[in-house]
Structure formats: structure tokens, C-alpha cells
Structure 1
């Protein structure tokens, strides 16, 4: 048996395990497998081998080819999870939501630290590190395809004030990257028209949600709040307000 990951169970863990077991059953390879528990409130998951870009992003993580591959990975995940029906009474980690009727259970946290890269051939036939799997499904919850796309683009386009971006993302054309991702994902036209509006709504709601978690849960949530995550969200929202017309034109032209 390969390497395993042992983590403390959370109230949402049984629901997340049901999602991961469904993904395994339908043949989606880009997620960890549930191997069980050890009887001491610890879950055991398979370890997904590969490279995870923690901290400052490496060059391979910011290329157009990576963005295209990530969009297609997210689309494969959505198509695979769309046939999953949560059990009545399923418990999910609380987080920001939109007002749309849920379509599926989304990952809702596709940050660079939750994407595993592996060597593979890209469209040009070059051997490169490309997105292979999504990990850390703790924030998974019923939502829409568009919401999961928005949360992903928040980090990977990125929809953020340049002062808060990774150095390699600071001077990139965000509008062009939004369009590239949506083209590769195959996002419906009506969703493209609403994408920036939903991103703005999410900024407002995630600010409130993270402040609440910092105040009530403490731990890592409080630490992130103390380190300025609220201010970064506010700056991102202001940057989006200032650039929304230009971004929209690039996204839908």
C-alpha cells in the first residue's frame, strides 16, 4: 500500500468521504481515496504523489498551459461529482455561498496549495508539470459550477489587488487569463456574463464568513484574520470595482 495521510475527523468528514468515494466509483482519478479511519477519530486518506506549490509560486504554476489544464481538471471534477446526491442531513463546513440553487458539491477551495502537479505532456507535446489532482476537500459543499470557477479564479487569474499577488502573477493580464480559463472549462455564456458580479458578491460574503470564523473558531481562522486576510479581501473587491468594465469586455468579447 502507498503512503497515507492521517488527519483528525471533523463534523463534515463523513460528508466529504461520501464525495470522495463517489469520485472513486465513477473513475475520477484526480482526488484522494478514503481508506478508512483508525478508530480514534482520525481519517486515513491516500497520499497523492506530486508537487504542490506552497508559498511563492514556481514558474510552472503560472503559465497559460497550467491555467488551461487546471480549468479542464476542474471541469472533469464537476462532471464526475454532478451525479452525486448528498444524503439527507449531510454536514458541510460553513463558508461563503451565493443565492443560486446548488447544482453539485464543489471543492470551493482550489488554491495553489490544494492542487497537485505531475509530469505530463502538454498540448504542444512538451513534458511539463501540470495540474493532476485536487486535495483537501474540507471546504466542499453544495454550490454551483460558477461559484467553484469564481473561487478558483480568485487565486489563479488572480482576481486580487496587485500588491497582494504572488510576484509571478503581479503583472499578468488578468482579463486574458479569465477568458482563457473559461474557454478551457467550457463555461456557459450566461455564466460568463455573471462571473464578475458573482465574484464581487463572494468578496462581500467571504469577508463576513471569515471574520465570523475568526471570532468563533479561533485557531487558523483567527491567525489568518490577524495576518490581514480581511484587508486583502477588501483590496481585491476594490480592485475588481475599478477594473470590472475592462475585465468584462475581455471575458465576453
Structure 2
């Protein structure tokens, strides 16, 4: 049990969980019904030698989970928006997926969310947006915020990651640093580094479209419950998903040509 310390630095960037703070070399986060599953996963990753995830350190006097702090910076910058960083994220995701091998795909309670129709293969992060990737010296070295982790397929987690990093989005909704990028080329770079096989590349855009549809429905349902989901919905999350889906429909042929 960790004592409560007074000097707390609020950490920003997450959409789902409020009240995340840094205390020294630790991060304190409110617990949720999925916390036991996430802690089991993080302990498995530690035992597997995966260095790119926080370590579970316990619970503090306020009942918050205590995780190790991963030093570095997150979010998009001129460096992290480039293809070298994109390739690094692909390699990090592949290393993470491989490290989850052997972790039980049933028997834990996860947050849930949209998913693939195929049987799960690994535990996916399912929210590897730029805010959740830690960079050091312009190299992606870690991932944080496992709130939405759950059993899924490798391809679904690849698609979820590419939604933010390619990005598969209408240009009007992209970060300014990614507004003019060649999305098809970035899809190919990511898939090459990760090692996405040809059969999955042929299905990637179809699965992206399915994810858009299901994510829209999931977010709309969760928004009815209030909280941060309602805030994100009110901020236009549903409209952004719809625009991304329409953009994908309009550019599918050229994107597919890069993938195959």
C-alpha cells in the first residue's frame, strides 16, 4: 500500500479517464472494473520482458492504482509525425502483440468496445493514438493508457492504430502535421514494418470500414451514459467518424493499390 503524497501533477491527454496524476516516478489512476485485467496484462508483459509498458506498483491510500512513470514525451510533433516515427510505432505494436502471447484471452473483464468478427488472437491496446505513445530522442519506446485494451485480432489493433497514425481520416479532422501526408504510403510503411501478411492487407480497408460503423454505435451508446463519452460525442466524435468513413470510401482504390 502506497501512502498518499501531496505533490501531484495532473496528466492531460487521455479522453476516457479523469484524475490521472504523476507523483514522483509514479502515476496514480482511478481504478475501474477492468483494472484487474489490465494489471494482469501489465504483469504478464513485465514477465515477458516487454519494456514498453508501465509496471504495476500497487494501490495508494486513496484507492488509486500506482504505475511506474514512463519518461519521455507523447503526442504529435514534427519528428513523431514523420515516417521514421511511424515505422517505430509499427515495430512497437508488433513487439507488444508478440509479448501478449500466452496471456489468457478469456477469464478477465475488459472495458469492451468495437471489435473484429474473427476469433481473438492477442490482447490489443485498441487506443494507440499519439497521446498514448511515449517517445525518447524521437524514438517510440512505450505505450500508456491501457483503459480500452481487450482481446482482439492483430489486424483490428493495426487498423485502430492506423486510424490515428496514417491517419485514416478526413483531412479536415487531421492534426495539421498530418494534413498533407500520403496516407496510402504510410499504410504500406506501417504494414511492411509490422509484417502484416498479404491476406490481412487485402482485408485492412474492409475492417477499417467495419470499425468505423461499430465505433460510431459504441460511442453513441456510451454517450447516453454521460461522463467523458458524452463530452467526446458533444465535441463531434460521431461526425468525425462519419467523415472518416466517407473519406475512406472515396479513396479506397488508391489506398488499396499501396497496400497490395
Answer yes or no: same fold by TM over 0.5: yes
The secondary structure found in structure 1 opposite 2:224 is helix
Which residue of structure 2 aligns with residue 223 of structure 1? 231
Which residue of structure 1 aligns with residue 200 of structure 2? 191
2:240 and 2:77 mapped to 1: Cα distance?
Answer: 22
Which residue of structure 2 aligns with residue 3 of structure 1? 25
The secondary structure found in structure 1 opposite 2:233 is helix
1:33 maps to which of 21, 39, 55: 55
For residue 83 of structure 1, report the CA deviation from its aligned partner. 1.9
2:43 maps to which of 11, 18, 21: 21
The secondary structure found in structure 1 opposite 2:141 is strand
Aligned partners of 1:2 and 1:46 also within 8 Å: no
Q: Deviations over 1:16-42 (max 9, x none)?
A: 000000000010000000001125431
Which residue of structure 1 aligns with residue 82 of structure 2? 63
Which residue of structure 2 aligns with residue 242 of structure 1? 250
1:238 and 1:87 mapped to 2: Cα distance?
Answer: 35
2:84 and 2:240 mapped to 1: Cα distance?
Answer: 27
Which residue of structure 2 aligns with residue 209 of structure 1? 218
For residue 104 of structure 1, report the CA deviation from its aligned partner. 1.0
Aligned partners of 1:15 and 1:86 also within 8 Å: no
TM-score, structure 2 normalization:
0.89
Which residue of structure 2 aligns with residue 46 of structure 1? 68
The secondary structure found in structure 2 opposite 1:245 is helix
Q: Deviations over 1:167-197 (max 9, x none)?
A: 1111110000000000010111111010000
1:97 maps to which of 110, 115, 138: 115
Q: Deviations over 1:46-69 (max 9, x none)?
A: 00000111xxx3101111100111
Q: Size of the alignment, in residue pairs?
A: 238
Q: Which runs of 4+ in 1 moved over 4 A?
A: none
TM-score, structure 1 normalization:
0.92
Mapping of residues 146-185 of structure 1, within 5 Å:
146-185=155-194
1:237 and 1:249 mapped to 2: Cα distance?
Answer: 18
The secondary structure found in structure 1 opposite 2:220 is helix
- Mind listing any 5+ residue stretches in structure 1 that lack a counterpart? 120-128
Which residue of structure 2 aligns with residue 125 of structure 1? none
The secondary structure found in structure 2 opposite 1:61 is coil
Which residue of structure 1 aligns with residue 11 of structure 2? none
Quickly say closer, same or farther: Cα 1:87–1:147, change in 2 above 3 A: closer
Q: Which protein has the bigger helix share?
A: 1
Q: Deviations over 1:81-115 (max 9, x none)?
A: 12211462x11002111111000111000000000
